[in-house]
Amino acid sequence: MSNKPAGHKARKRFGQNFLHDQGVIGRIIRAINPQHGQHMVEIGPGLGALTEELLDACQGELDVVELDRDLIPVLRTQFFRYADTFNIHEADALKFDFTALKQDERPLRVVGNLPYNISTPLIFHLLSFNGLIQDMHFMLQKEVVDRLAAGPGDNHYGRLGIMAQYYCRVEPLFIVPPGAFSPAPKVDSAIVRLVPYAQPPYPAKDVKQLQNVVRTAFGQRRKTLRNNLKPLISADRLEALGIDPGLRPERLTLAQFVAISDALSDAADTPCEPN
């Protein structure tokens, strides 16, 4: 699946960079380790570089979500012999309801060479379906993988990494050079594995509250928690939680963000005293 069909050019508006390096493809498949009978989901199959390898390995069910309508007939023709188990969904993965794919007790195993321009919002979208998913393996811009895996104090640490790590174990696997793609991107890519927790290590009382706290805290990275979180919580209440309000947001752990979120949830649940 390294050869492009005649006449098809990668579309910049879809962020298309087609994987063609067979050595890299093999390494990705080994990392995913698809097994017989598993329910695989591929986002953005493109020209099918990973698709046939997945179909051969799992001998189960493969759903693919592809936005580029010109690629749909190419994929149908290329994989016609898998018609009973190969399902193509012409859709925008950012808006796709992944619950529609779940037909039985098997969890979904999600794979994708994600376009750089939608990778962050797409990961947030997929995290909302984490209860259906066994694991996710993505090809992403290396900087995005760095952000997903970053810890407190790291320059890459922020909203994406905190929320991904709330839901999942994040494992950066290996770097993929630009030459593995056509056209070659201007940056390195990397493969990352996300494994949803059965139970988050630091479960928040209200995940939406946590998301709001993290978003607000990183509204202006250079400012302190005292300034950024002022609309939500006072410096005195932060100190009561054992958190220095003079810190910048990238110094806080996930557990500390959850503590702030839970304090706000508790305050919202406390009935007002009558006058």
| Residue ranges at the known binding site for S-adenosyl-L-methionine | 17, 19, 44, 66, 92, 113
CA distance 105 to 227: 47
CA distance 152 to 139: 24
Assign 18 to helix, strand or coil: strand
CA distance 62 to 32: 14
Instruction: Say if residues 82 and 98 touch (Cβ distance below 8 Å).
Output: no
Residues annotated within the binding site are 17, 19, 44, 66, 92, 113
CA distance 222 to 133: 36
CA distance 71 to 137: 22
Q: What one-character DSSP code corresponds to residue 46?
A: T
CA distance 122 to 120: 5
In b/e form, how buried is each residue of 219-247, taking b as 16+ CB within 10 angstroms?
eeeeebbbebbeebbebebbeeeebebeb
